[in-house]
Amino acid sequence: MSFPAIIPASDLDAANAALHSQGFGPTNFSVSVFDASGVATHAAFHAWDDAAFRQAVEALPYDVTIRDADEEPREQVTQLAAGLSIVWPPEQDWLDNLPMTGDIVTFDGTEYRSLIDNNVWSPTAYPQGWELVDAGGGEWVDSGATTNGPSGANTMGVSDDSPFQAGQTIRVDQDDALVTTVTGIHSANLLLIDPHVTVGSGQMIEIEQ
């Protein structure tokens, strides 16, 4: 048994961060759903009905819509979207050949690297899901923030999250990582990063300019 779920795009980052903090991965909601004018208003996923994951999704403090049905995945999500008066354009083949984390694509003549798996968003529709591929390389400077000790898998506690943004590369003691999400779960300053970097407390965090 499996189920699809849809959430407003405005809650995408917070919902993914909340699920990630519970051990369910950083990019569960990643597939875009559009209104009739083509504006991406919602994000969706389709998942196997694991009881613990289902309970975590249902407990999210956001407007999550879940559908239980026996149809195949595409049909489930299409019907769920229709029930919310939003649409899944037929040209969005979300089940096949989607950019995964690290994949580089060309959009409007510019190269972008995907920051999430199963990425159907364009760089203009969902900028948080992409980073610009810079062939030049920049200079490493002190961000002004330090690490707050060891964190969970692919997370880093920081003294101040204001210098950081999704798609940015950071460096701690010569170890580089990509910031996928900046979040404040339980009022803590946390970065979701890829790959994981093991850190101590009070280490300088550099950013590339």
Domains of the chain: 2-132 (no CATH), 140-208 (2.40.30)
Quickly state the pLDDT bin for 91 (edges 50, 70, 90): very low
- Section 15-30 average pLDDT: 84
Q: Which of 56, 52, 34 is nearest to 43 (CA)?
A: 34
pLDDT tens string 157-194? 899 888 988 878 899 988 888 888 887 655 568 888 88
Greater model confidence, 208 or 98: 208
The helix (H) or strand (E) run that includes residue 3 is strand 2-8
CA distances from 12 to 27, 41, 62, 100, 111 (A): 9, 10, 10, 18, 24
Strand 140-148 versus strand 130-132 pairing type: unpaired
Kindly report the CA angle at 161 between 194 and 121, in degrees rounded to 5? 50
Greater model confidence, 21 or 89: 21
Does residue 74 contact residue 43 with C-beta atoms inside 8 Å?
no
pLDDT at 142: 92
pLDDT tens string 99-152? 778 887 777 677 788 887 767 666 776 777 788 776 555 678 899 999 987 667
pLDDT tens string 42-72? 887 777 667 888 899 999 998 888 876 655 5
pLDDT at 35: 67
How buried is residue 38: exposed, middle or buried, by Cβ count under 10 Å (0-12/13-18/19+)? exposed
pLDDT at 36: 62
Greater model confidence, 88 or 33: 33
pLDDT at 74: 58
pLDDT at 205: 93
